[in-house]
């Protein structure tokens, strides 16, 4: 594997032993960048014991206070899920997703999110992702230990990056828009929708921006495309100001 820039992100891991198991799984599969979002206990002797030779991965691990901080500098963001399908998100089998992730990592760092052991990822966490990864498992007992899940995802990435599986797509011509750039786009879009009085007509009145975010996340916008959309929004605002001045 050519050490693509793939970042493993554990969101609110509760058991330090699982962090160590993840570090070991990462080293097995030639992954080195581990980021922990608000871990309950880290550093911890149990994490070091379970790492079993992957101390370098633990030593280099970063601890941050939010998912947004963990995603800084990334392009493609993938999140693990137990869902077979979702009407709003693109859900891919891990073997299908791996070549896409490896290809995207040649252009900009890719983050893969894993949720807390008992609760998984929140809807807010999932909204940061361009796609969801599902690991097929027995319907009678589909729950995977955190270390096992990282190992299985890492294994597919290792196969894809080692030339055993041909990439499904070529690397994108331009780097994907970063999470920070996308957040600025979404804030700008929400502002313009408010200005033109385009409001959520659903009963709760809270779904419009969530649906628009997911639509644009599925599109996997590159930096140029995000800038084009922001330029269009700015032009709409300029036209409205001009119309207001004339009236």
User: Residue 167 has what pLDDT?
Assistant: 42
Domain that holds residue 223: 179-246
User: Residue 246 has what pLDDT?
Assistant: 64
Position 31 in a domain: yes
Is 189:217 a contact under the CB 8 Å cutoff? no
* Stretch 154-164: mean pLDDT: 84
Distance (Å, rounded) from C-alpha 121 to C-alpha 12? Answer: 9
Residue 31 predicted with pLDDT over 90: yes
Task: Give the residue carrying structure tokens 């990282």.
Answer: 150
Lowest-confidence pick of 4-8, 10-14, 71-75, 162-166: 162-166
Distance (Å, rounded) from C-alpha 209 to C-alpha 200? Answer: 8
User: Residue 200 has what pLDDT?
Assistant: 83
Position 194 in a domain: yes
Position 170 in a domain: no
Distance (Å, rounded) from C-alpha 59 to C-alpha 226? Answer: 36
Residue 2 predicted with pLDDT over 50: no
- Looking at the fold, whether 96 and 64 belong to one and the same domain comes out as yes
- Looking at the fold, whether 100 and 190 belong to one and the same domain comes out as no
Lowest-confidence pick of 9-13, 87-91, 117-121, 237-241: 87-91
Position 166 in a domain: no
As beta bridge partners, residue 8 has: 34, 112
Distance (Å, rounded) from C-alpha 37 to C-alpha 7? Answer: 13
Task: State pLDDT tens for residues 177-201.
Answer: 999 999 999 999 999 999 999 988 7
User: Residue 110 has what pLDDT?
Assistant: 96
- Looking at the fold, whether 28 and 92 belong to one and the same domain comes out as yes
Q: By CB neighbour count within 10 A (0-12 exposed, 13-18 middle, 19+ buried), where does 186 fall?
A: middle
CATH code for the domain in which residue 222 is found: 1.10.8.590
- Looking at the fold, whether 110 and 231 belong to one and the same domain comes out as no
- Looking at the fold, whether 145 and 240 belong to one and the same domain comes out as no
Average pLDDT, the chain: 89
Percent of the chain with pLDDT over 70: 89
- Looking at the fold, whether 148 and 199 belong to one and the same domain comes out as no
Position 172 in a domain: no
- Looking at the fold, whether 91 and 142 belong to one and the same domain comes out as yes
Residue 96 predicted with pLDDT over 50: yes
Tallying the residues shown for the chain, one arrives at 247
Residue burial 148-181, b: 16+ Cβ < 10 Å; e: rest: bbbbbbbbbbbbbbeeeeebeeeebeebbbbbeb
Lowest-confidence pick of 8-12, 153-157, 203-207, 220-224: 203-207
Dihedrals phi, psi of 129, to nearest 5 degrees: -90, 145
Number of domains in the chain: 2
- Say what the pTM is: 0.82
- Looking at the fold, whether 116 and 225 belong to one and the same domain comes out as no
Domain boundary among 161, 188, 223: 161
- Looking at the fold, whether 110 and 220 belong to one and the same domain comes out as no
User: Residue 85 has what pLDDT?
Assistant: 67
Task: State pLDDT tens for residues 100-119.
Answer: 999 999 999 999 999 998 88
Under DSSP, is residue 64 helix (H, G, I), strand (E, B) or coil? strand
- Looking at the fold, whether 46 and 106 belong to one and the same domain comes out as yes
User: Residue 240 has what pLDDT?
Assistant: 81
Distance (Å, rounded) from C-alpha 41 to C-alpha 37? Answer: 11
Structure-token pair, residue 59: 């030593």
Position 173 in a domain: no
Q: What is the DSSP letter of 172?
A: P
């Amino acid at each position: 594997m050519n050490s693509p820039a793939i970042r493993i992100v554990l969101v609110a891991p509760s058991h330090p032993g699982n962090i160590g198991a993840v570090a070991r799984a990462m080293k097995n599969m030639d992954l080195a960048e581990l980021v922990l979002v608000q871990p309950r206990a880290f550093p911890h002797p149990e994490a070091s014991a379970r790492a079993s030779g992957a101390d370098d991965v633990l030593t280099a691990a970063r601890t941050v206070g939010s998912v947004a901080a963990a995603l800084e500098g990334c392009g493609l963001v993938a999140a693990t899920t137990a869902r077979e399908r979702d009407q709003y998100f693109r859900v891919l089998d891990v073997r299908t997703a791996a070549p896409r992730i490896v290809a995207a990592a040649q252009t900009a760092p890719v983050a893969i999110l894993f949720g807390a052991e008992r609760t998984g990822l929140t809807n807010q966490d999932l909204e940061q992702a361009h796609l969801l990864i599902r690991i097929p498992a027995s319907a009678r007992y589909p729950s995977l230990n955190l270390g096992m899940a990282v190992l299985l995802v890492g294994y597919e990435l290792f196969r894809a990056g080692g030339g055993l599986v041909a990439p499904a797509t070529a690397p994108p011509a331009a780097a994907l828009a970063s999470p920070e750039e996308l957040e600025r786009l979404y804030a700008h879009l929400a502002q313009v929708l408010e200005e033109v009085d385009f409001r959520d007509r659903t009963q709760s009145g809270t779904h419009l921006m969530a649906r628009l975010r997911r639509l644009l996340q599925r599109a996997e916008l590159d930096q140029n495309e995000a800038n084009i959309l922001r330029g269009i929004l700015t032009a709409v605002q300029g036209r409205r100001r001009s119309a207001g001045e004339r009236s």
